Amino acid sequence: MDNKERIIMQCKYCGQPISDNCNYCSNCGRAVREEAAEVKRESKFWEQGWFAVLMLFIFWPVGLYLLWRYHGIFAKAIVSVFLLMLLGVFITVLDINLDRGKSGDSFSKIANSVIAESIPSQEKFNELLARYNQNESKSMTELEKAEFNKSYEKEFNAFFQNGYVKKWCGKVDSVKSEKSGMAASVKLRCDFPKAEYTFETKNYAVDETLIPADSELYKKIRSLKTGDVVIFSGKLVSGDYSKKIVDLTTSYGYRNNKLYIDFTDIEKIDTKE
């Protein structure tokens, strides 16, 4: 019998007799000698470790995919841990935003029920600020924006007239001890759907408006905590870099949305439904 026709084994898949010099079964076509039939393939550059690491710095989702796809169990474990951490961060941020949204909605409902007596009207100020925010988002050149800001600065300052506000509503952001317990600073947030701003004592200036520890107002604010809703009154003062009550200029890309105030009264209101 010729060597080429010599039969010494059977296909382990279909049982067909095959000769010893066959790499594939003539019946089922499957490889019977994987070590001989498999052709060593040269890996592409995107399958190599250095490229996966490089992509982590350039575009991390692609880098993670390459590690997962081509670099074994250890790499898969690293990617899994990273994705779990990313998911945790996403859930945390989502919870914070949802809580802030719920808190903001709650504050708006409370505030809208009590600011009818505010002087000048806080509701009118919110409308003015919302209109400014909407118009500011429109595409403008730098010179157009400068003219736009000047126009609104004039309107804002005219709205406050002598600078006094009475029975406005805000939510306590912070109450801090200053000057070794000799005074206190207060920051209130007003988070309405289309108008967000703060009222703050002026802490580091010649004309500071800190609340002295020996004052009646200090006794009122002593028990306030973050999240409390208050009705307040006071006189607005100019900003650190502006003689205007409202300064709409920008600093480091952020518009100033702070109103400095010399508080004359702060009263916590009952928010229980």
- State pLDDT tens for residues 98-112: 555 444 467 888 888
Q: Please tell me whether residue 237 adopts helix, strand or coil conformation.
A: strand
C-beta neighbour count of 118 within 10 angstroms: 19
Task: Report CA torsion sign: 12, 13, 14, 19.
Answer: negative
**193 against 75, higher pLDDT:** 193
- pLDDT band, very low/low/confident/very high, at 36 (cuts 50, 70, 90): very low
**73 against 43, higher pLDDT:** 73
Q: What is the pTM of this model?
A: 0.61
Q: Return the pLDDT at 172.
A: 95
Tell me phi and psi for residue 243, to 5 degrees.
Answer: -90, -5
Q: What are the angstrom distances between the C-alpha of 144 and each of 111, 129, 150, 153, 252?
A: 35, 19, 10, 14, 19
Q: Return the pLDDT at 97.
A: 55
The answer to whether the CB of 216 falls within 8 A of the CB of 225 is no
Catalogue all structural domains in the chain, each as residue range(s) with its CATH number.
3-40 (no CATH), 47-99 (no CATH), 117-268 (2.40.50.140)
H/E element, 78: helix 72-114
- pLDDT band, very low/low/confident/very high, at 38 (cuts 50, 70, 90): very low
Q: What is the dihedral of CA 156, 162, 168, 174, to 10 degrees?
A: 90
Give the pLDDT confidence of 101-152 residue by residue, as tens digits: 444 467 888 888 888 899 999 999 999 999 998 888 788 888 888 888 889 9
Percent of the chain with pLDDT over 90: 33
Task: Report CA torsion sign: 232, 234, 162, 156.
Answer: negative
Task: Report CA torsion sign: 91, 92, 97, 98.
Answer: positive
Instruction: Give the whole-angstrom CA distance, residue 223 versus residue 174.
Output: 12
